[in-house]
Each structure stands twice: as structure tokens, then as C-alpha cells.
Structure 1
Amino acid sequence: MDYQEAKHKYIQAWGTLGSSWGINKAMAQIHALLLISTEPRSAEEVMDELQMSRGNVNMNLRALMDWGIVQKEHRIGERKEFFFAGKDIWELARQVSKERRRREIEPIIKVLNQVQDIDGNDEKIKEFKKVTSDLKDFSLKVDGVLDKFTKADQNWFYKLLMKM
């Protein structure tokens, strides 16, 4: 397999994996390209390489920056902006976990706290409170694990995996 074929295959696979992270395919493909690039890339270079529209690339670059996994750089004498992704995969995993925690776990815990405060004592209400309480307990445990993961170093994580 030559470099171009391998690169294309990797970008396509990373794009597919992106949906598991909760991001769209184009966003993940842009991230994949930036991860393997040796130099920061302009939006135009990303557009040409991935055959995407300017709007799609710009929107997804902004979203990747919102996630904290892509940064922007300015060069003296250049009007273009250049984008790059950090190469530390451990830091990438921590940042994605931190962002998913903020976007998914924290909001559901807030809702589950709010819905626990309902009046009544019939069977439907008891069942509702039990299920939402169990979901809240589970969500709090997941939140705790994600919190430890985002604050921990690699050694802690690998030791935890070995115990499992």
C-alpha cells in the first residue's frame, strides 16, 4: 500500500469513528488530516485535500476548535489562518472525554436532579423516581470516572486497565 492510499484509508476510517465520538464524519476527517500533517494547514489546503466545500471546512474547523482538539496559528505576512491538531493521543482522549462530559453527562445529571422533585405517591410516580434515581446514580459514577480520567496521567489509566 502506498502513502496516498494509506492516508486516504486512515482519513476515511477516522471519519467513520468520529460518529462514535458524537461528531460528524467531515469533522473527524478534517481532524484526521490535521493529525497526520507535518505542518499546520490552511482551510484551502484542507478543502483541496478532502474535496470539501469552504463552508463545510470552515464550520468544522471552528467546531474542532470548540472541542479543544484543533488550534489556529497566524503567520507573519500571511492573511490565511493555519490549523493544527496536537499529536499527543493521550491528551486528545482526555480532551474528548472532558468535552463529552461537559456536553452529555453534566446536562443529564442536571435534568435528573430536577425531575426527582415531583409530588405524589402512586405506582407511576414511584417507578419514575426509581428509574430516574438509578439513572442519576449511574450518571454520577460515569461522571466520576471521566473526571478522574481527565485529571489523571497515562500510568493511572494503564494500571486501571491492567486491574480489569
Structure 2
Amino acid sequence: MNYKETKEEFIQMWGRFGSNWGIPAAMAEIHAFLLSTESPVSTDEIMEELKISRSNANLNIRALMDWRLIYKKRIQGERKEYFVAEKDIWEVAIRIIKERRRKEVDPVINELNRLASFEANTFEEKNFKSLLLDTHDLALKMNSIGDMVEKVEKLKFVKWIMKGI
């Protein structure tokens, strides 16, 4: 397989995995395309490469910018907007963890806390409340792992992981 075929396959693979993780395939494919491209790319180039509509491209570019995974890059003398991806894959992972926690984990923790606030009287109610509190506690512990990953330096984290192997 040559470079072009490998790059195309990487973009498609990233799109499939994105779908598995609840991210639109087009968003993941745009991210993969920008990750694997060294020079800034315009919306038109993204549309042409990935065979997607302007509205699809614009919507997903904005989402990637909100996640801080891509940035606008100004090119002197050009009126078009150009985009580049964060290339440090560790930083990409940290930003994805932060965004997923903000959108998915934090609301679950808040909702479990709210649900567990009812007054339990019967055996069944107490068991159910215990389930809610245990699930809330687990979610908090999982969230603290995310905190740890976000705060630790890449090298320290890798050393910490390797000690456990």
C-alpha cells in the first residue's frame, strides 16, 4: 500500500471509530484528514477530499474547533479560512477526555446526585437509593481518573502505566 492509499484508509478508519465513540463519521474523518496533512487546508479542500457538503464540513469544523482539536490558520493574502489540527496526539487525547467528561460524565454525575436525593423508607427504596449512590460514587472515581490523566505530564503518565505492566 502506498502513502495515499494508507492515508485514505486511516481517514476511513478514524471515521469508523468516531462513529463507534458517538462522534459523527464526517467529524472524525475531517479530524483524521487534518491530522495527516502538514499544510493548512481550506474548507473547499476538505469538501473535495472527503466528498462532503459545505454545510456538513462547516458544522463539523466548528465542532472540532469547539473541542480545540483544530484551529484556524491565517495565510497572508488569502481570503479563505484554513485549518490545521493539533498534532501532539497526547494533547489530542487530553482534549477529547476533557470534552467527553464535560458533555457526558459530568451530567451523569449531576443527575445521579439529583436522583439519589429522594427519601428512602422501604427495603426496596433503600436498595435502589444505595444503587444510585454506588453508581454516583463509581462515576466520581472514574472522573477522578480523568482528572489525573489531564493533570499529569505525558512522560510521568507513561512511566506510571508501565510500572503496572
TM range (shorter): over 0.9
Q: Is 1:8–2:15 an aligned residue pair?
A: no
The letter of the residue matching 1:27 is M
The offset of 1:123, in angstroms, is 3.0
SS of equivalent to 1:30: helix
Shift of residue 98, structure 1, vs aligned partner? 0.8
Instruction: Please report how far the alpha carbon of residue 160 of structure 1 lies from its aligned counterpart in structure 2 after TM superposition.
Output: 2.6
Residue identity (%): 46
Rounded to whole Å, the distance in 2 between the matches of 1:22 and 1:85 is: 20
Aligned to 1:161: 161
What is the aligned partner in structure 1 of residue 144 from structure 2? Answer: 144
Q: Indicate conservation of the 8 Å contact 2:120/2:129, yes or no.
A: no
State the AA in 2 paired with 1:39: S
Which residue of structure 2 lines up, in the alignment, with residue 128 of structure 1? 128
State the one-letter code of the partner of 1:135: T
Cα distance in structure 1, aligned partners of 2:140 and 2:79? 46
TM-score by length of structure 2 reads 0.94
Unaligned runs of 5+ in 2: none
CA distance in 1 between counterparts of 2:21 and 2:90 reads: 15
How far apart, in 1, do the equivalents of 2:120 and 2:52 lie?
A: 55
Q: Deviations over 1:41-82 (max 9, x none)?
A: 000000001111111111000010111101112223222100
Contact 2:73 2:82 in 1 (8 A): yes
CA RMSD of the aligned region, Å?
1.2
Question: 1:20 offset after TM fit, Å?
Answer: 3.8
Which residue is equivalent to 1:22? 22
1:163 shift after superposition: 3.0
Q: Which residue of 1 aligns with 2:47?
A: 47
Task: Write the deviation string for residues 27-53 of structure 1: whole angstroms up to 9, x where unpaired.
Answer: 000000000111110000000011111
Which sections of structure 1, spanning at least 5 residues, go unmatched? Answer: none
Q: CA deviation at 1:8?
A: 1.0
| Count of aligned pairs between the two proteins | 164
CA distance in 2, matches of 1:65, 1:108: 24
Normalised by the length of structure 1, the TM-score is 0.94
Superposition misfits of 4+ residues, deviation over 4 angstroms: none
C-alpha deviations, 1:98-131, integer Å up to 9, x for none?
1111111111111111111102311332122111
